[in-house]
Amino acid sequence: MTSSTLPRTAVPAAGAPAPRPAGPSGTRARLAVADDLLALLRTTTTEPRPDDQLAALTLAVAADLPVLLWGEPGIGKTAALTQLAHSLGLPLTTVIASVHEPSDFSGLPIVGEDPAVQGVPMAPPQWAVELVRAGRGLLFLDELSTATPAVQAALLRVVLERKVGALQLPRGVRIVAAANPRASAADGWELSPPLANRFVHLHWVHDPDVVVRGLGGTWPRAELPRLVPERLPEAVAHARRAVCGFLRARPTLIHRLPGTETRRGTAWPSPRSWDAALTLLAFGTAAAVSREVLALLVRGAVGDGPGLELLAHLDRMDLPDPESLLADPARAELPERGDLRQATLEAVVAAVGARPERRRWEAGWAVLVRALETGAPDLLVAPATALAALRRDDWEVPQAVERLAGVVGLARRAERSVGRATAAGAGRAPGTRR
């Protein structure tokens, strides 16, 4: 070792008093100041702020459904759960699934005085006993994707039946888990299909605005959904009608086990997960949550494809009754969203075609005029063309058609212009200009 690598001892300047080594009391004082600084850094506040993923999480927790948060390491899953427990006033119990043995969840066998008579009870771990003693709490199963298959199997009864060994967890205990994708997990495993199918899967991502404001000391506040008591029976009836009606039309989606191991470890449709979707739909209807929040929950329960199909079915359920529109066209309330308005107008034309009468045909034109007065005219081309094709020879053309003729003709000319421009562009060589 050379002299340049040897540790140097500070030498006081000439005439300066030598510094005194800090004694135990001085060290404690400096640590106390450091603790004060840490306390200031950890002191934050919360504020009500629209946050779809946080709203989806709190609604699923309110519905007493196990939730699994998927996200990359460091994305804030644990911090979100800690803040959620604090906001809801629930004691947080964190269990790192990957560092436990299967017996920590299924119970440890304890041999009594007479096993042949009394049997061998399965003693629960301390964390489960404390949850039962508290009567309520938030059980956080962290690092779920690093748990071995044997531990995942032991967790099945904990997640679904809330049983740890011979101990039944109280109804006041909610379960939330977190996992990293296998590619970014430490020695990760894919979730087993039975365990994955017991969760509502939410993909946790960071919002830059939320992170920046949170680092500044203010985080979004987790609040339970406000359920309207008067809407509860209606919400349950709506959810059952929606899910049952959809599955009658798509019976092959009642149970569909994905073909790949990776997809089996996420949300997929089964009678169990459809029951969860029905529960979430009822809670979402009673709380009047946004479509975005409802989409996160439904897709998290039964998977992206079936979830999107159910959402489309809900849209069709919410469309106005075409017979009601034909009965009073002047007061027709049409959806504002373009796709729903188009579907409504097509339903009106289909209703006229199912029972073609002159009075109903004229009412159909009146509905199209109402649509012209309240929305974009380009949506009228297809339904107007279809309605015109239903005319019988002895039916006079109503005056309403004159109001639509110019708009429909203009829209058709615009479509033809776009078509010609597209065809001309396709015929030119790449990179040429006219």
Give the SS3 label for residue 87. Answer: helix
Q: What's the confidence (pLDDT) of residue 2?
A: 44
| Pairwise CA distance, residues 119 & 114, whole Å | 7
Q: Where are the alpha helices (DSSP H) in 184-303?
A: 193-196, 208-215, 232-249, 261-264, 271-287, 291-302
DSSP string, 93-155: EEEEGGGS-THHHH-EE---S-HHHH---EEPPHHHHHHHHHSEEEEEEE-GGGS-HHHHHHH
Spatial neighbors of 194 by CB under 8 A, at least 6 apart, are 153, 156
DSSP code at position 375: S
Name the residue with higher pLDDT: 408 or 241. 241
- The residue-averaged pLDDT of 234-249 equals 93
Q: What is the mean pLDDT of the chain?
A: 83
| Pairwise CA distance, residues 5 & 28, whole Å | 32
**Identity of the highest mean pLDDT range in 158-172, 198-212, 295-309, 337-351:** 295-309
Structure tokens given for 182: 């296998």
**Which residue reads 């300066």 in tokens?**
16
- What order of strands is seen across the sheet that includes strand 92-96? 92-96, 136-142, 172-179, 67-70, 200-203
Q: Are 346 and 382 in contact (CB under 8 A)?
A: yes
Confidence label for 415 from pLDDT (cuts 50, 70 and 90): very low
DSSP code at position 229: G
Q: What's the confidence (pLDDT) of residue 404?
A: 76
- The residue-averaged pLDDT of 308-313 equals 92
Confidence label for 224 from pLDDT (cuts 50, 70 and 90): confident
Q: What's the confidence (pLDDT) of residue 117?
A: 61
Q: Are 243 and 277 in contact (CB under 8 A)?
A: yes
- Per-residue pLDDT reduced to its tens digit, 101-110: 888 888 777 7
**Which residue reads 């997640």 in tokens?**
159
Torsions phi, psi for 415 (to 5 deg): -65, -40
Q: Are 100 and 138 in contact (CB under 8 A)?
A: no
Spatial neighbors of 357 by CB under 8 A, at least 6 apart, are none
% of the chain exceeding 90 in pLDDT: 39
- The residue-averaged pLDDT of 244-273 equals 92
This prediction has a pTM of: 0.73
% of the chain exceeding 70 in pLDDT: 84
Q: 3-state DSSP helix/strand/coil percent for the chain, to nearest 5?
A: 60, 10, 30
- Per-residue pLDDT reduced to its tens digit, 13-68: 555 555 555 566 778 888 999 999 999 998 888 888 888 999 999 999 999 999 99
- The residue-averaged pLDDT of 218-230 equals 88
Confidence label for 4 from pLDDT (cuts 50, 70 and 90): very low
**Which residue reads 């809801």 in tokens?**
88
Name the residue with higher pLDDT: 374 or 92. 92
pLDDT of 350 strictly over 50: yes
Closest CA to 79 of 214, 200, 209: 214
Q: What's the confidence (pLDDT) of residue 120?
A: 66
Across 134-143, 157-166, 409-418, least confident range = 409-418
Q: What's the confidence (pLDDT) of residue 50?
A: 86
DSSP code at position 186: T
- The residue-averaged pLDDT of 299-310 equals 95
Q: What's the confidence (pLDDT) of residue 337?
A: 82
Q: Where are the alpha helices (DSSP H) in 252-390?
A: 261-264, 271-287, 291-302, 304-317, 322-327, 338-354, 358-374, 381-388
| Pairwise CA distance, residues 23 & 400, whole Å | 96
Name the residue with higher pLDDT: 398 or 147. 147
List Cβ<8 Å contacts ≥24 apart for 255-258.
Answer: 256/306, 257/193, 258/303
